[in-house]
Each structure stands twice: as C-alpha cells, then as structure tokens.
Chains A and B, each alone.
Chain A
C-alpha cells in the first residue's frame, strides 16, 4: 500500500477529557478513533509536517543562517517564504497511550517524528485528520503510522531550517539601570515569612527567598 511520508514537529500533546461536543476538531477525531479502535483515546496530538522527499530536495536546509548577517537573514526568509504550501500539512491525531507505548514516551512537544500517511488502516496506524494548515478549512481522514525520527543529520537539518535565525535580535539599546524596591505585600489572610511553594512534580521542595526588608 502506497504512503506519503512526512517529517513532523510535535506541536502539542494533550490528555483529552473526551468532552465530545466541546471542540469541533477534537470531537471529530475522537469520534473517528472510537469508531475505528473501539475505545476512547487518552491523548490528542497536533503534528506540523513537511513532505520528507520535498524537504530533502531543498538545497538550503544544511546551510546555517547567521542571524547577525542581514544577507543571511534575507536569504533564509526568502527560502521560508518560497516553501511550497502544498507540501506542508497539519495532522490532528487521537491516540491511546497503550497503542504504541514506546513511541508514546517520545511524544514530547517540539520533538520530530517520521509520519507515514495511508488512505486506509494498516498495522500500527491510527486515524487522524490532515489539513493544509491550522485553519483546517478542509480536512481529510487519513491513517497515520508514527515513528521516531532517529537520523541525527536529518534532525540537524530540520532544526536548522525551521528556526528563527532569520529574525534579527532586538536592539533594546539598554543604557540606564534603575533600582526599584518593592514594599512586600502583606496579605492579612496569609503570613509571608518564607513561603513554601510545596512539593513539585518530582518531589523536591523549593522555597521562595525571604523578602528583604526595605
């Protein structure tokens, strides 16, 4: 079965509380998953991709952009603006965390994945919605196989091409330092001596520094 292959940036991974009807986009893909997989998904994933063959054909993806060079910035900007929009796609995918538990661990935001798109279900695929961009003017149902992007050279090119190196650093022309001292707010319902912010997610403890007297 033929497929189209994309390289996709993980834009968002979120647990879904499966509130059908709360979000049109979510509702559609959740229903799709239920119909085809017979259970509720645990997560929704937004992937932002570019066709792999097209990306690899671009001659500039390995060329660094020196953000301090106006010429480099202009060249990179031109390259990004000339990307063929028909080769870019956004995917909204519903998943259950047990579907592919090894890959699930890799689904960190801003990670890159290899994505194979099929017109019908194949082994290891999950249903999703494909659209040209986040506006989702037109969506089509596809079957998606996700794999981790392992090639270091390819990852390096992806991070080089899709960076903000074409934007100049702001020159704030900072030339004056000013000292501000705050009168610590004394909430009558809460004594601010040393605030324990409590255990964090990993079990460590952090403390807010005691406000200095002014």
Chain B
C-alpha cells in the first residue's frame, strides 16, 4: 500500500545541523547570503545550484544533484562543465547533496568535472549499481545520511535563510528492490524565521506527497518532481491547488528523452504560466543555465514570528 506523508503545521523537533557539514557551509558563506537558485542545463537530469553572494561575488554554495549524461550539452566538451558547474570557488568548495543514485543525478561528476569528486557530498544510502559503487569510491569526502535519521528532517541556518534537508522513505536492507526515487533526499529553503515563510521545494524525483514533514506553507518555487513525469499527477494536482498560485514558479529540468518528460499534463495543472526549463539553448555563447533571483520567491520584508526554542 502506498504511503504518503502528512503535510505539517509544525516541526516540533527539528534538529539543527552541527558538525562538519554545518561548519563547511557556514565557513564558505561567511557574512554572505543565499541569493539565487540556478537551474543548470544538464540535459535529461537534474542539477540545481543554491547560489550565495559574498563580498559581491556569486558562487554555488550547494549543488542539489550534479547532472547526468543523456542529452548533456557538454557531451563533447567536457571542459565546459567545469566552467558552467564549478565546484571550486573563491571561498572554498561547493557542497553536493545527492537526491538519489539514479545516473541522471550524479554522472556529470564522473568525467565532465572531476573537481566535483573532491567536494563534500551528502548522499542517501540506497542499493547501487557497479558503476555507482565505483563512482562513490572515487569521492574523496562523501558521507551517507545516517540510518538513525531515516524519514527525519535536519535544518541549517545560512544567513537570512534556513535550508531543511529531509530523508524521504526508508532504505530497507531486507527488501531486495527499491524505488530510489522514494528513498532519497529532498531539500526545502525558507526564510531564516521559517514560521511564515513560503518555501522553495527541490524534491529530486520524489513525489511531493512522499516527502516527510513538508510544511503547510505556500510553495513559491518548485522544481518539478522527476523532470515533469506524469506519475503521481493526481497528487501533484492537489498540491498545485492547495499550495501554489499564479505567482509560483516551476522549474523543469529535462533533455531530449524517451520517457515523455515533461508531460503536458504537469504544465496544464500548474497554476499560472511561470514555468521555466533548462531547454533554452541558443548558442555556445549562452551560459546554459537559468538563474532565479531568490528574493522574488522568499521575500524578507514580512514580519515573522521567531522560532520557539524547546528543550530536548
């Protein structure tokens, strides 16, 4: 029987991130702030960069996924990936959060920008193929999501914003098959005082109704789950009706494919017409990514109630 997770009005025991990942992110961010979301053209796959600005310099603080291979625009120009998807920046190295181990979410780091293998990776524990296992062994600084935190949420305050990282469904070692779309990581971004903030939702390939503890807040910016797949359309429709409006923006990352992504029905049920994709290739001179100014979707001007600290 299919489970779905509740939409919540509170996160009663949100763990605040500490440790190496926290230190790495806050050190790189310094006195800067998160300013944008970059939809990188990786063809049929996902790569979203969370862009920060520090000392008037923009850099990718976090990548959520790192692209694949099918219809990748740098198929014959690997060196260009390093320019378009840099992981080394003025303040250190980007963190890479992998939603799941499908090849269209990590393979661009295999050959196209090998610098990415030196980044700090946070990955879900899932069943993996020989190619994925070999690739994961090449990562110099990769960590698995802890088994004790299956289906849990952690939060990290990054300047004006809070990033919540969730582990979706459980990886069950006793079960031989796994739909990895459902057992990966998902990210939401909020203003630092989460309470009345709308949210940016980066679900990877996980349907929205399978993401644990998704706040009952307005979704102002959404990456279409699973490249705009029609699977789970009924649930997606209800989320569109309940939590999005004509000012919401949907990003769709896809390339030429045989899956039928994105399905026209996904665009049809989305309220309004603010939909952008990575398919705006015009010439080699173009940057091959779409940058979204975050302040349009997570405005800071509204008054917000401070979070309540509770004792453990």
Contacts and interface: CB of A to CB of B under 8 A. Distances in A.
Nearest to B122: A170
Contact of A187 (B12, B147, B242): B242
B21 A167 contact: no
Interface residues of A, number: 82
A130 to B, nearest CB: 13
Interface string A171-210: 1111111111111110101101001111111101010110
B173 to A, nearest CB: 8
B15 A176 contact: yes
Interface string B18-59: 111110000000000000000000001000000000000000
Contacts of A136: 69
A169 interface: yes
Interface stretch (A96-104, A105-113, A114-122): A105-113
Contacts of B6: 208-209
Interface centre among B8, B12, B139 (most CB of A within 10 A): B8
B296 interface: no
A164 B125 contact: yes
A161 B137 CA distance: 12
A182 B2 contact: no
A25 interface: yes
B281 interface: no
Nearest to B243: A185
A11 interface: yes
B11 A170 contact: no
Interface stretch (B84-92, B285-293, B303-311): B303-311
Contacts of B310: 177-179
Contact of B21 (A22, A170, A187, A189): A170
Contact of B110 (A50, A110, A135, A187): A135
Interface centre among B110, B111, B125, B130 (most CB of A within 10 A): B130
B216 A80 contact: no
Contact of B13 (A19, A44, A177): A177
A37 interface: no
A166 B121 CA distance: 14
Nearest to A27: B258
A10 B142 CA distance: 24
Interface string B231-257: 000110010011111000000000111
Interface residues of B, number: 92
A29 to B, nearest CB: 9
A77 to B, nearest CB: 5
B132 to A, nearest CB: 7
A154 interface: no
B133 interface: yes
Interface in A17-75: 17-19, 22-26, 30, 44, 46, 48-50, 67
Interface string B135-179: 011110011111101000011000000000000000000001111
Contacts of B22: 172-173
Contacts of A190: 241-242
Interface string B72-112: 00000000000000000000000000000011000100110
Contacts of B271: 189
Nearest to A7: B130
A172 B215 contact: no
Interface of A: 9, 11-12, 14-19, 22-26, 30, 44, 46, 48-50, 67, 76-77, 80-81, 83, 85, 88, 90, 108-111, 133-136, 155, 159, 161-164, 166-185, 187, 189-190, 192, 195-202, 204, 206, 208-209, 211-212, 214
Given A11-B102, A162-B127, A199-B234, 10 more contacts: A12-B102, A110-B177, A164-B128, A167-B144, A170-B146, A178-B11, A178-B155, A179-B12, A182-B9, A195-B7
A-B complex: 9 closest residue pairs judged by Cβ atoms: A173-B18, A48-B129, A173-B19, A80-B137, A26-B258, A170-B143, A174-B15, A9-B129, A185-B218
9 contacts: A44-B258, A88-B130, A90-B131, A135-B69, A162-B127, A170-B145, A178-B11, A185-B217, A209-B7
